Structure 1
């Protein structure tokens, strides 16, 4: 029974880990992004990897598990749309990466045997997920015997038992992750740096160049003096075409938002609601019950130190006496009233030991309490030693072998009932406390330090817009929607004095847009609409009512010149200026025998630079200048370069001298450093290649 109870306590951790073990779960977060149209013949198809479909129901189940894990770890019962979107994105990437890797691993025949699987469970280097699931939260120590006990319990279960199925999924996922790890080991072992690579890298970091340069800055020519032609745009676009690859379809909109946020009148109403509660709050004898009945947020009353309270009251209440009430005050989208319930001094840390009685082993909670009480009496009467009893009776074997010793810990290190007992008691106390782990007999051995703590009862009411405020904003939005079409959207907005806002490069899975929160319904429509189409309804985004028009659709793949023309205009202007400045330098070089003469004719100056290395191509007083510095390291000494377009302007350079480094004596170390850098890139680049090869299709924009 104890084993079964133990397993049930940890099954939440085990289930949460089922989806989260793919080797590439985080690498894939940015790498796996692709678009595609929704296959209408299969409404359960969220996407696919090659021929393997990713079903919507499987995805939703995985999201629910990951959400449950997040809530358990964060202690939050609710999640924001941003958190939900993040978890959905990670879940998608986990499923895609797992599908891609499974295909590659199967091709190579990589397996994980039974001995290897058991080693991941109870070996000298167990899998981190196993360690996480079977670590005692009180001692922080991993217990291999607990894993063995859980395996024994699982074997005794009947087929079809949910816990047995969850355990099977957990182990399968561990095996899949191990296979993926072996696959990456093969890739890593294929990364090789030879001696010439090592020497080149060493020289790039240590060879010094001393040179002079003349610079004509782009800013010397005003933008309005540059007349761009179609050929200018085409030339730049053709040279940089691969930079305009869209990993997945994106869209842009223009929109007008009508604010439905709470008005001053709404704020006054909420504040008045709290003010009316004030007399009863003052007279209340049970502040915890008062909070439960009257507050939107049912926050339990706990001891808190300075710095842990709402900033609005943190610097105030520690100077007051119990009964002091502050508010109503506005904080975090709510009006609040806070009452100082109690003040006392708490130790900063406690040293304690305990004996844990597991109800499952004792025959129930009542018998566990009785056993703890009997042990307490034996210690109090001097008939038994605490340490000896802990060794014999404690279900917490990790601390039991040390006489129940838990060491010294601060507030919050233990579960709350345990914490309350040791911090509210005094040195030498013996206390019996129940927690989710069982019944604890605790001895407070020492307490150190002393800080003032307070208990605060807070009643809050959310600041929400009234129906009148919402109705007024919605009516304005509806009126505007009725007046516009795809041809007069901007004109009508200007006529009504409304601000037109834009949102560019919208991703299909987004739940928020610039200035708009909780906007998933709007995004879903955006990816169903055609270019120029105006929404057939007013969309709600948090406290905004929105009327929107799709202005641009950027498909997956290399974007056309028309779609990037506005974005590349500044760089095209710079390129045209570069040609003008280069021509000026070329004319100045005609008949000149030195860089000083060229600079004088061009109307600029010569600047000397010392000790520049190829690996750090920064010219003092400027930014990184890759082309000019790269040119320097390819120039013979005293030879004047041709004009070189850089980031800041156009350069002409001449090398005075090079200072070669000492010969490379430790090629092995240089190779190791380069190999580590390549390995860091290899995983992401490999996954990107596999993703393209396996033709990942993503229908989430139209399905979720």
Structure 2
């Protein structure tokens, strides 16, 4: 890959290289494999058999179409993550059907038409039906009439000779509903299977008794614990050799087995910002939309097809705001910027105003907005300036007297702003000369509001509120037009030329790294170019990679069939940022290499060494007080422990093994000192002081019912887990996508 940057940057050279490669292909033995290539990778296997790709693809498309339609009805975005979730649901549903198929067939479990009707229209509506957006009323509740109306519409379709597109949509809807009904019946049959399993869950009296004893019987102990945190590596002579020994012993443990391929990468970023030319073109595009927007009678459709927002209203009232255009549905906040207020006030119904710039409050991206004026409402607003004389630090009489005095001075000298600076107790308006501009009714306390909206313009008023006395001067009053707007927003994006310019910078970086040919070149060149060197772990089975919005692109690089340590990527455009990545290490699934798990194994390896060291020291001492005097952190403590809790009061965290060992000692051995024990928090030496037995009960029904409830609650999950384990399911979807197989 030493010339990748130069080849990709120079398209002429690329053509030459491709031509030479084709000649080499044709005139060598490689023609023997023509038409072959890498074996296609199945999306998954169940019971060792490959999944039917068409069946999976059709089911995934059905789920995607359904969720997309549901999102449309609910007015929510259907993004890449939502599509991934829909495909996951389809995959899991296909797995469930395969797993349950043989079980249901063996038991003869079926679902009748009457049961299906009951789930869709009857008294036991299935959640899948009630959660569909188009089957809900305006307050979000399931509406049976909507289902009836929808199903009636599926009975007889439109004439295909009149409207082909409408007929196609009807036909697809009919097919989707038929598939949905099949899934409902499958789900209902599975519910019956799970119900049978739950009915078969049983707890016998001996289990109930053991549980009761375990939760109530206790042991009184005296103990000394030396915490691992007090034992240094130097004290026990801990070295890398101990980690390697631990690795050899535990490398096949499930905890350390790599469940998925992974790669460690470093990457640098080249932000791509729009240019002046990109902004000019975006303005031209928005200007061209204005003509059609002004002429259309279907504002909602035009907004949905031409804009980026899922905003299904063309009569929303917008108020005068600050610098930005705000459409916050969740907060019910709609504002247009002050910069276009003159345009708004001079507009009439049907006008399309804009385009004007704003910033997306979520991403801070620059957007252009055009908005169709669809009517007006009126709102009274006032503009005032004031001086607050607080009563917190003076009496009411003193505050009023000062207010009267200041009014006389201001009337005589016309120096309101000067008096604000010297006397006001309102920090919120002091920097603005005491002004509050164009606020609406309800924004101020009642007395202040009355002075602002009913007071004479230019006349000084002394108004008392809960804050103190205000000297108020009205600077303006008006009945402001508030527009009802149908907005279209579009993000200004960098064009092809702009991206190419930044891409060339990335290629220059790649060339320098590859020309250097040393292992530290990526890090060194990034520092020389003042680029931040970022790190991320890419896991093939994960859909999240730190620093990347689109995980697919970096996975395709990191897990390509020929990808190896030391490879450098071409420019990757991700979320308006061009990134270049470098593979520092790769780990295959299965038994990990020593280097891959060295850091992970260091702590447990150290714990083993620490425990062995102090178990050896404690084992030669027969008295617990002597042990306490021997170890640095020795302190004799007492505690009452129960098997059901698994912890020792005074010791953080669970100590199941230690507590279990204590409960293995019977009453005849009260007073015995146990051998030293390796715990989770440290090394223990314990004396069993007393066994507190519980009296045998005549009836363990309550305990039995408690266990039964817990078992029944997890029965379905446990059954599916057991079936999945038996089926040995392999999910290759991420690998298939990354390698293009």
TM-score (norm 1): 0.64
Q: 2:137 matched to which residue of 1?
A: 137
Q: Is 1:210 the equivalent of 2:242?
A: no
Measured after TM superposition, the shift of residue 645 of structure 1 is: 1.9
Q: Is 1:198 the equivalent of 2:228?
A: no
Q: Deviations over 1:360-415 (max 9, x none)?
A: xxxxxxxxxxxxxxxxxxxxxxxxxxxxxxxxxxxxxxxxxxxxxxxxxxxxxxxx
Q: Unpaired segments of 5 or more residues in structure 1?
A: 1-38, 346-452
Q: Is 1:566 the equivalent of 2:566?
A: no
Q: 1:601 matched to which residue of 2?
A: 630
1:428-439 pair list within 5 angstroms: none
Measured after TM superposition, the shift of residue 514 of structure 1 is: 0.7
Tell me, yes or no, if the aligned pair for 1:508 and 1:523 is still in contact at 8 Å.
Answer: no
Q: 2:83 matched to which residue of 1?
A: 84
Tell me, yes or no, if the aligned pair for 1:112 and 1:178 is still in contact at 8 Å.
Answer: yes
Q: 1:175 matched to which residue of 2?
A: 185
Q: 1:524 matched to which residue of 2?
A: 556
Distance 1:329 1:487, change over 3 A: closer
Distance 1:315 1:68, change over 3 A: closer
Q: Is 1:109 the equivalent of 2:141?
A: no
**What is the alpha-carbon distance in structure 2 between the residues aligned to residue 167 and residue 146 of structure 1?**
11
**What is the alpha-carbon distance in structure 2 between the residues aligned to residue 298 and residue 115 of structure 1?**
39
State the SS of the aligned residue for 2:599: helix
Aligned Cα root-mean-square deviation (Å): 5.0
**What is the alpha-carbon distance in structure 1 between the residues aligned to residue 640 and residue 378 of structure 2?**
65
Distance 1:471 1:150, change over 3 A: closer
Q: 1:50 matched to which residue of 2?
A: 47
Q: Deviations over 1:68-107 (max 9, x none)?
A: 3333444357533333323322322222222222133224
Distance 1:256 1:488, change over 3 A: farther
Measured after TM superposition, the shift of residue 137 of structure 1 is: 2.2
Tell me, yes or no, if the aligned pair for 1:262 and 1:463 is still in contact at 8 Å.
Answer: no
Measured after TM superposition, the shift of residue 576 of structure 1 is: 1.4
Q: Is 1:249 the equivalent of 2:260?
A: yes
**What is the alpha-carbon distance in structure 2 between the residues aligned to residue 258 and residue 156 of structure 1?**
54
Moved more, 234-243 or 493-502: 234-243
**What is the alpha-carbon distance in structure 2 between the residues aligned to residue 146 and residue 456 of structure 1?**
33
Q: Deviations over 1:128-166 (max 9, x none)?
A: 4455569562584664996699489759999x9656544
Moved more, 485-494 or 172-181: 485-494
State the SS of the aligned residue for 2:43: strand
Q: 1:99 matched to which residue of 2?
A: 98
Q: Deviations over 1:290-331 (max 9, x none)?
A: 9969976585445479999549998996999x9588985562
Q: 2:537 matched to which residue of 1?
A: 504
TM-score (norm 2): 0.61
Bigger Rg over Cα = 2
**What is the alpha-carbon distance in structure 1 between the residues aligned to residue 569 and residue 359 of structure 2?**
41
1:266-305 pair list within 5 angstroms: 297=309, 299=311, 300-303=313-316
Q: 1:612 matched to which residue of 2?
A: 641
State the SS of the aligned residue for 2:565: coil
Distance 1:57 1:657, change over 3 A: same
Task: State which of 332, 348, 371 in structure 1 corresponds to 2:362.
Answer: 332
**What is the alpha-carbon distance in structure 2 between the residues aligned to residue 560 and residue 680 of structure 1?**
40
Moved more, 456-465 or 209-218: 456-465
Moved more, 521-530 or 119-128: 119-128
Q: 1:494 matched to which residue of 2?
A: 524
Measured after TM superposition, the shift of residue 571 of structure 1 is: 1.8
**What is the alpha-carbon distance in structure 2 between the residues aligned to residue 207 and residue 563 of structure 1?**
45
Q: Deviations over 1:621-666 (max 9, x none)?
A: 5222222333333344322222222222112122333434454465
Tell me, yes or no, if the aligned pair for 1:493 and 1:499 is still in contact at 8 Å.
Answer: no
**What is the alpha-carbon distance in structure 2 between the residues aligned to residue 267 and residue 581 of structure 1?**
73
Tell me, yes or no, if the aligned pair for 2:121 and 2:147 is still in contact at 8 Å.
Answer: no
Tell me, yes or no, if the aligned pair for 1:295 and 1:459 is still in contact at 8 Å.
Answer: yes
Measured after TM superposition, the shift of residue 603 of structure 1 is: 2.9
Task: State which of 504, 509, 512 in structure 2 corresponds to 1:480.
Answer: 509
Q: Deviations over 1:335-362 (max 9, x none)?
A: 46999986679xxxxxxxxxxxxxxxxx
Q: Is 1:66 the equivalent of 2:77?
A: no
